[in-house]
Amino acid sequence: MGFFSPHKRHANQFNYTPRYYDPVKEERERRRAELRGERLDDKSEYTPGKYIRGQREARELRRSQQSRSSGNKMKTWVTMAGVLLLIVFVWYLVPRIASIFEVANTQTRNGSMTQQEREIEEFDPYAPIIIVPNDYKEGDEIVIVEE
């Protein structure tokens, strides 16, 4: 069980030294490249991830230039289509929707209410109730005819 140990364990550490590294040869190649005009930007010392970062930045620059050329056109077309749809909506649908509300509003003003609506408006809870007499007498049988 490795839960409680009196000795503290450290993570594995690597002591890597390149086998075929020759600093004199590297310096000689660097000077020759500078004299020939190659690798002028490589004057600084190597830092980890320097070349990978450079490749990534170049790739991002290339992609952004490509997307600017094609992306702007697409964005323009989408914006134009959206504006066109908005204009069509305002030009055709808004007046029709407004006319529907106007018609409904004028109908209630003109008094073209149904009988049920009038009864609801005219309901008086204190008015006497009208009783309608039945057409049958007590003791009569109700016959249900099935068809």
Q: Identify residue 40 by its one-letter amino acid code.
A: L
Instruction: Answer whether 63's CB lies under 8 Å from 55's CB.
Output: no
Q: Which pLDDT does position 83 carry in this prediction?
A: 94
Q: Which pLDDT does position 84 carry in this prediction?
A: 93
Q: Is the pLDDT of residue 129 over 60?
A: yes
CA separation for the pair 123, 116 (Å, rounded): 10
Instruction: Answer whether 30's CB lies under 8 Å from 42's CB.
Output: yes
Does the reported pTM lie above 0.85? no
Please give the structure tokens belonging to residue 71.
């992306």
Q: Which pLDDT does position 22 carry in this prediction?
A: 84
Q: Which pLDDT does position 89 carry in this prediction?
A: 86
Average pLDDT, the chain: 77
Please give the structure tokens belonging to residue 63.
């992609």
Please give the structure tokens belonging to residue 50.
């320097």
- Which of 30, 28, 29 shows the shortest CA–CA distance to 45? 30
Q: What is the mean pLDDT of residues 96-123?
A: 73
Q: Identify residue 140 by its one-letter amino acid code.
A: D
